[in-house]
Amino acid sequence: MADISAKEVMELRRKTGCGMMECKKALLESNGDVDGAIEYLRKAGMAKAQKRAGRAVNQGKWGVAAAGNSVALVEALCETDFVAGTAEFKAFVQQAAQKALSYEAEGDVSAQLVADMEADLHALIGKIGENMSIRRAVKWTAADGGKLAYYLHTAQPYATLVEVAGTDDPALLNNIALHITASNPTYISSKDVPASFIEKEREIAAADPKLQGKPEKVLAGILQGKLNKRFSEICLMDMPWIDDEHTTLAKVAPGVVVKRFVRWLVGEEVGA
């Protein structure tokens, strides 16, 4: 059996980030061969990852990377908020975001990122001892003249990414992202609301006993009013504006066109 020095253990720890005892064991198993020890640690990490794969992950962090007109947003999950706050986990999430940003693909890049980061993920699971996963990842590139803005909420782990045309004002772009985070719209404008949804809302409103017997024109006006109120609850452009609840984004910035947005909460709809 090889005589393993403390210096060799420290060097392997520097290369892998694993604990001192794990590094020493790996060097002993590989008879002092560093490459063999690294392979041993990687296999050990994969074994630990498989063992912990069934454990719930509903804590985590966002990773964001940006360059030019492109932004990547990544959600990585773990078991506890303690691990989510560690430097190792944060570094992993940021590494994943940078990887996603490098892709030529546009849109949902979750599957590709999960495959590409699998070895690093298993190594981190082996080191920290918690189950982890990359759950979601998007990489967007703004169209000509468009701008991307994002907002990460600190009190609660919300993340918003939005593409906007018609403005390059950093303050307005930031407020639009903040507005989406705070207001949680379902659609961009009333034009995007499905006809089936509108028909159902009209049906529900018309069932009000107080409206029975109203003249057709009067009833149509009342129903449209109720529908407009519903739009103000679910449509980004028609919602009360974050800086002034008496107006809307459509009125504050009539030249602005919101192309798309995502608003995510870490661990949402993930079973405990």
Q: Where are the beta strands (DSSP E) in 96-231?
A: 107-108, 132-141, 146-152, 158-165
Q: How far apart are CA 67 and CA 24, in angstroms?
A: 41
Q: How confident is the model at residue 49 (pLDDT cuts 50, 70, 90)?
A: very low
Q: How far apart are CA 171 and CA 257, in angstroms?
A: 16
Instruction: Give pLDDT, residue 271.
Output: 46
pTM: 0.74
pLDDT of 7 higher than 50: yes
Instruction: Give pLDDT, residue 55.
Output: 54
Instruction: Give pLDDT, residue 47.
Output: 42
Instruction: Give pLDDT, residue 44.
Output: 67
pLDDT of 1 higher than 80: no
Continuous segment of H or E residues that includes residue 240 = strand 240-241
Q: How far apart are CA 83 and CA 60, in angstroms?
A: 8
Instruction: Give pLDDT, residue 267.
Output: 85
Measure Cα distances from 253 to 115, 116, 233 in Å: 42, 41, 19
Q: One-letter amino acid identity for 46?
A: M
- The DSSP code sequence of 97-123 is HHHHHT-S--EE-HHHHHHHTHHHHHH
Q: How confident is the model at residue 2 (pLDDT cuts 50, 70, 90)?
A: low
pLDDT of 272 higher than 80: no
Instruction: Give pLDDT, residue 80.
Output: 87
pLDDT above 70: percentage of residues in the chain: 88
Model pLDDT for residues 138-176, shown as the tens digit of each residue: 999 998 889 999 999 877 889 999 999 999 999 999 999
Q: How far apart are CA 184 and CA 126, in angstroms?
A: 37
Q: How far apart are CA 48 and CA 267, in angstroms?
A: 22
- State how far Cα 175 lies from the chain centre: 19
pLDDT of 56 higher than 50: yes
| 106-145 b/e (C-beta count within 10 Å ≥ 16 → b) | eeebbeebbebbeeebbbbbbbbebbbbbbbbbbbbbeee
Q: How confident is the model at residue 129 (pLDDT cuts 50, 70, 90)?
A: confident
Q: How confident is the model at residue 65 (pLDDT cuts 50, 70, 90)?
A: very high
Report the chain's mean pLDDT, rounded to a whole number.
85
CB 160 within 8 A of CB 150: yes
Q: How far apart are CA 79 and CA 31, in angstroms?
A: 35
CB 166 within 8 A of CB 258: no
Model pLDDT for residues 178-219, shown as the tens digit of each residue: 999 999 999 999 899 888 888 887 777 777 777 776 777 776
